[in-house]
Structure 1
Amino acid sequence: MTTNLQQLKAEVENELITNILPFWMNRMPDDVNGGFYGQVTAENKVVRNAPKGGILNSRILWTFSAAYRLTSKPEYKEIADRAKEYLITKFIDQTYGGVYWQLNAAGIPTDTKKQMYNLGFAIYGLSEYYRATQDSSALEEAIKLFELIEKYSFDTLDNGYFEAFKREWNEMEDMRLSEKDANEKKTMNTHLHILEPYTNLYRVWKSPELKAKIENLIHIFIEKILNSDNHHLGLFFDEKWNRKGNSFSYGHDIEAAWLIHEAAIEIDNKQLLEKVRAKVLPIVDAALEGYQSDGSLAYEFDAEMQHTDTESHWWVQAETMVGAFDAYQLSGNQKYLQVVFSTWEYIKANLVDCENGEWHWSRMPDGSVHPTQDKAGFWKCPYHNGRMCMELMMRI
C-alpha cells in the first residue's frame, strides 16, 4: 500500500513513464495515413480504418507536450510534433476556421460540425505545445481558435457559450456532444472545457481580453452552473440559464472544483480567488457523496430515476485524485489525502492494465472490466490519467 507522498509521487511518475505514455507511443501512430489510429478495442486490437476524432488528437497533443515540458525527453516531443502537425494540416478547417469533429482513417473530413468543446481541446493542446517548445505557429493557431469561439459562440445577450454550429458557423438543430447528452444550448461540460484551455492559453498569452473572459467564466460557474442548494454542478441549461433537470456528475464536480480553482489562481484576481476558495471544498464534498467503500468514485446521479450509476470510469478516478489532492492542499484536512491514497489503491488494483498498457475504460458495478468500451478511442485518451500523474508529480 502507498502510505506517504514521496512514494505516491514515485508511483505515479512510474505509471506515466512506463505504462501510460508507452501505450500511446507504440500502439497509436498511424504510419500509413499520418496522425494516430482512431481506436484500440477493449481486446487491445488496433482498428486501422476507424475514424479519427479531433478530441483524441488534441488530447494526445496536450499530454505529450506536457510530458515533454516536464521531462525534456525527446521521444515525447516527437509524438507532440506529430499531433500538432496533424491537427493543423488535417483537423483545422482552412476555409471557415475551427476544428472538424471527425475525419475518416485517411484524414478526409466526415463530420464538419464545430463543437466548442472540440475547439477548446485544440486550444489546450496547442497552448501546451507552445509552452513546451516555444513554437509560435502553435500559439497563433490557438489564438485564432479563441477568437472564433468568442466571435461565434459567446452569447452577448445572456452570457455563456453556445454548444455547436455547422461548418459555416450557422445554427444547428442537434448540438449534443454525445448521444447521452440532452440537446440544450448551454452545458456545464462545454463551459468547463472552455475555461480549462483559456487558463492554459493565458499562461503563455497575457491578453487582457482573455483574462476578462476567464473571470467571466468563473462567475458563470459560481453564479449560474453551481447549484447553491446542494453544491453540485447543473449539467444542462437553456440559453437563459434555466437548469434542465437535477441530475449531476460526481466526476465532473470534482474535476471542476480544481479546474476553477486553477483558473482563479492563474489570473491572479485576489477577490475572485477568495470567492472561489469558499466554493472548492463544498463542491469536493458534494462530489464525494458518490465515494464508494472500495475507494472508487461513482459516475453520476440520475435524478429522474433516483439512481446512482456506480460504474467506476477511468477518468473519474483520475480526476478524483487531483481534486482531492487540491482540496488537501487548500485545507490541510487529512480526509482528502486519505481519498487520494484510497483511490490510488483502487486504480492500481482495478484499472491499470499492466499486461497491455494504459487503463481499462471502467469497472462495472459487478466488478468486471467493461467488455466493449475502447482502450483508446474518440473519448478514451491519455489526458485524464496522464494529467493526474503530472499534476501530482508537480504538486508533491
Structure 2
Amino acid sequence: MTEAISADRQLSALRDLAERELVQGILPFWEAHAFAEDGTLRGGVSDDLDYLDDLPRHAVLAARILWTFSAAADAVPHGRDRLLATARRALDQLTGPMWDAQFGGVYWSVDAQGAVLDERKQIYAQAFTMYALARWARVAGDADALARALWLASTLDGAARDREFGGYAEARARDWTPTERTALSELDPDVPKSMNTNLHVLEALTELLRASVDPAVAEALETLLRTTLDCIVAEAPFAHCALYFDEDWDRRSDGVSYGHDIETSWLLWDAWEALSAHGLEDADLEWRTREAALALAEAVRTHGVAADGAVLYAGGPDGPTDRDRHWWPQAEGVVGWLNAFQLAGRSEDRRAAIRAWDFIEQHVVDREHGEWHARLDERNRPLSGGTGDLKMGPWKCPYHNARACLEVLRRIDA
C-alpha cells in the first residue's frame, strides 16, 4: 500500500475541507433527496430541488448510491447506522425491482412502479452493481451480497469476456446473448468495446478482490490490467486512453476524455495494489502500471487543465474541443494528482490536486441548493436544461465527489 502523505498546512486544509464537504454537504443531500418516503429511488432532482419522478430509475445510479454510503459508513466516525440505512435502501432497489429474477444481473432501467423499461444487460451497469455489492458485503458482512457479486463476476467472465483479444464487451441482451445494441448512452456509438466500460469492470474487480480474495477474480483483474495497458492506454501524441474500439482493439475514435484519463491513472494503480496485496509479484507489471499512472496524470495536467485549475471535458490530438467543466472530472483530478504525488513526489501534481479542490470550492459546490453543479460553461456559469445537468439523474450521483473526499481522507495523514 502506498504510504499516506504527511500533511503540511495546505494538505491539512484540503483534508479538512474534503471531510466537511462529505459529512456536511454531499451525504446529507443524498440522504434527504435520493429516495421517496416509501423507500423507492427517485427519478431525478432538478437544480432547484424539484423532484422529477417521471424519469426512469437507473441501476447505475442505485449502485453508485449503495457504494457511496457503504464506503462512507466505513470511514465516517459518526452516523454509521444512518449511513448503512441509506445504503440498504439502494440495495433493496438494486436486488429487488432492478434485478432480473430469471436471468440474473440488473436491468438498465425501471419506472417508478418497478416495471422494466430497458432490459438490456449493459456491462457497465453490471460492473457498478458488482462494485457496490462487494463494498456493501465488506462493510455489512452480507454473504448474499458477496455471492451476488461473485455470480456477476463469473457471468461476465463467461458471457462478456473476450478470451481471444482481451477485455469485456459493451453489452449483452437480457439473456446474456450477443446484441447489436451496445451504446452506453445517446452520446456514445454502438461499438463492441469501450474504455469506459472496461475501466469500470477493472474497478469492480479490484473491489471484489478485496472483498472475496477469490483466485478467479484475481486472474480476471490481472488479465484486464494487462489488457488496459496494452490496448487502451496510448502514448502518442501524449499519454491518454483511447475511447472506442472494434473487437480486436482497433480504435474507432481519436477523442480524449481528460476526466477519464485522470480517473484511469489512479484506478490502474489501485488495481495493482489489490493484486499485490493478494500476493502477486511482478516487477514488470508494477513498473508498467506506475509509469502509465504517472504519464496519464502528467498529460492531463499539461493538456487538459484551464488556467483557473479546472479539468476540461474533452479534447483531441490538437487540444481541447469542449471547454465545459463537468463536476466529476474535477473530483477525479484531486484523487489522480494526489495519487501521482504519492508515487513520484512531483510538486506539480501536489499543486494540481490543491488547485482542483480550490476550483471545486469556488465554483462547483452549490452553496444555495446543496451538492455540486453538474456542469459549468467556460466562464464557470452553471448550465441547466439537460438530463446531464440535474442534481440527481441517470449520470449525476454521489459516487465521484464522495469518493474523492474519501480518498483525500485516506491519502493524507490527519
> Counterpart of 1:362?
375
> Counterpart of 1:300?
314
Unaligned stretches of 5+ residues in structure 1 = none
Q: Is 2:412 the counterpart of 1:387?
A: no
Q: Is 2:256 the counterpart of 1:242?
A: no
SS in 2 for 1:4: helix
Preserved contact between residue 315 and residue 385 of structure 1 (Cα < 8 Å): yes
Return the offset for 1:107: 1.2
Q: Is 2:275 the counterpart of 1:267?
A: yes
Preserved contact between residue 325 and residue 380 of structure 2 (Cα < 8 Å): no
Amino acid of the residue matched to residue 146 of structure 2?
L
Distance 1:332 1:67 in 2: 28
Post-superposition CA distance 1:321-357 (Å, at most 9, x none):
0000000111111111111111111101111012211
> Counterpart of 1:290?
304
Preserved contact between residue 302 and residue 309 of structure 1 (Cα < 8 Å): no
> Counterpart of 1:96?
103
Post-superposition CA distance 1:169-195 (Å, at most 9, x none):
222222000111121101000000000
Preserved contact between residue 19 and residue 354 of structure 1 (Cα < 8 Å): no
Distance 1:217 1:171 in 2: 20
> Counterpart of 1:206?
213
Return the offset for 1:302: 4.2
> Counterpart of 2:10?
4
SS in 1 for 2:96: helix
Which deviates more from structure 2 when the two are superposed, residues 57-66 or residues 281-290?
Answer: 281-290
Which deviates more from structure 2 when the two are superposed, residues 195-204 or residues 157-166?
Answer: 157-166
Preserved contact between residue 334 and residue 404 of structure 2 (Cα < 8 Å): yes
SS in 2 for 1:107: coil
Preserved contact between residue 312 and residue 320 of structure 2 (Cα < 8 Å): no
Match of 1:328 among 336, 341, 351: 341
> Counterpart of 1:68?
73
Q: Is 2:45 the counterpart of 1:40?
A: yes
Distance 1:16 1:362 in 2: 19
Distance 2:222 2:177 in 1: 28
> Counterpart of 2:327?
314
Unaligned stretches of 5+ residues in structure 2 = 1-7
> Counterpart of 1:277?
290
Return the offset for 1:128: 0.6
Q: Kindly, what percent of the aligned residue pairs are identical? A: 35
Distance 1:339 1:306 in 2: 19
> Counterpart of 1:188?
195
Which deviates more from structure 2 when the two are superposed, residues 258-267 or residues 22-31?
Answer: 22-31
Match of 2:56 among 29, 51, 58: 51
Post-superposition CA distance 1:360-388 (Å, at most 9, x none):
00111232101221111100000000000
Distance 1:65 1:14 in 2: 18
Question: Aligned Cα RMSD in Å?
Answer: 1.4
Return the offset for 1:320: 0.2
- 1:329-348 equivalence runs, <5 A: 329-348=342-361
Distance 1:68 1:81 in 2: 12
Preserved contact between residue 40 and residue 376 of structure 1 (Cα < 8 Å): yes
Return the offset for 1:307: 4.9
Return the offset for 1:92: 1.2
- 1:142-153 equivalence runs, <5 A: 142-153=149-160
